[in-house]
């Protein structure tokens, strides 16, 4: 993406939400122009395009920082591709699996919970047959997990973290977990990260990440939007 004009960080949640609302209904082609960029024809070689574009437009701190997108506000930004029925088209990446420390961290202090504590969801049209520049942003939603959602996330995280902490990451498939799952998060299948096996010995494994299942984000949208039947 070309060098963008800079947008100041929002000072309050209300300001952030107002800015995001002002972008709803606008297509990615026009939004890209506003930062001096051009929307790609497809996302095969630009998978992070939408997220990075919206980050810029809303004044998020620079990408690739291990901090909330809106540091001052403690808010994480997530664009969410949705189909024409308003259903998420993809799972949502949350955080990488910290193989070195996960056996010593509790839910209350883990990165998954921290990241999901406050999220600005920005739906974006995600039909693959809709050209990227024509895809429009939807109405944003500033969200925190309710007690039930927190409990669901916690149960899955504790189960998954338990398996990993006992050295069983190689036995974990994406089928595990009702709302949260563990999947590869890597440049390619040859990527490696140091983990711990069942005997407590270090070994090299594929980097993994925690993802929210689409069914979980679909429920968030269902509760907060009037969706087509």
Residue ranges binding DNA (CB under 7 A): 1, 42-48, 50-52, 54-55, 62-66, 69, 76-79, 81, 83, 87, 89-93, 95-96, 124, 126, 128, 173-175, 181, 183-191, 193, 206-207, 209, 211, 213-215
Nearer residue to DNA within complex by CB, 116 or 154 = 116
CA distance 117 to 146: 10
Nearer residue to DNA within complex by CB, 152 or 181 = 181
Residues 6+ apart with CB under 8 A from 50: 28, 43, 79, 81, 124, 135
Least distance (Å) between residue 147 CB and DNA: 24
Least distance (Å) between residue 66 CB and DNA: 4
Least distance (Å) between residue 175 CB and DNA: 4
CA distance 79 to 84: 16
Residues 210, 94: contact at Cβ < 8 Å? yes
CA atoms within 13 A on the CB side of 96: 13
Backbone angles phi and psi of 34, in degrees to 5: -65, -20
Least distance (Å) between residue 59 CB and DNA: 14
Nearer residue to DNA within complex by CB, 1 or 117 = 1
Nearer residue to DNA within complex by CB, 63 or 151 = 63
Least distance (Å) between residue 164 CB and DNA: 14
Q: Which tokens sit at 148?
A: 């039930």
Residues 132, 40: contact at Cβ < 8 Å? yes
Residues 118, 17: contact at Cβ < 8 Å? no
Residues 217, 180: contact at Cβ < 8 Å? no
Nearer residue to DNA within complex by CB, 37 or 145 = 37
> Helices 147-165 & 214-224, crossing angle to 10 degrees?
170
Least distance (Å) between residue 90 CB and DNA: 4
Nearer residue to DNA within complex by CB, 54 or 220 = 54
């Amino acid at each position: 993406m070309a060098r963008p004009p800079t947008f100041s960080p929002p000072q309050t949640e209300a300001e952030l939400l107002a800015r995001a609302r002002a972008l709803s209904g606008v297509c990615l082609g026009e939004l890209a122009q506003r930062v001096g960029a051009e929307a790609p024809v497809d996302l095969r070689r630009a998978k992070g395009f939408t997220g990075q574009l919206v980050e810029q437009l809303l004044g998020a701190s620079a990408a690739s920082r291990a901090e909330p997108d809106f540091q001052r506000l403690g808010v994480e930004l997530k664009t969410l591709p949705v189909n024409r029925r308003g259903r998420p088209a993809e799972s949502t990446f949350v955080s990488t699996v910290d193989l070195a420390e996960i056996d010593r961290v509790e839910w209350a202090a883990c990165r998954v919970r921290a990241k999901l504590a406050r999220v600005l969801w920005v739906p974006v049209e995600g039909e693959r047959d809709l050209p990227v520049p024509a895809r429009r942003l939807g109405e944003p939603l500033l969200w925190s997990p309710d007690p039930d959602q927190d409990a669901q996330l916690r149960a899955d995280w504790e189960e998954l973290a338990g398996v990993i902490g006992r050295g069983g990451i190689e036995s974990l498939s994406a089928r595990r977990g009702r709302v949260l799952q563990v999947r590869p998060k890597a440049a390619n299948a040859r990527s490696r990260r140091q983990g711990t096996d069942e005997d407590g010995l270090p070994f090299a494994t594929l980097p993994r990440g925690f993802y929210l299942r689409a069914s979980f984000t679909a429920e968030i949208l269902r509760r907060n939007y009037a969706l087509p039947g």
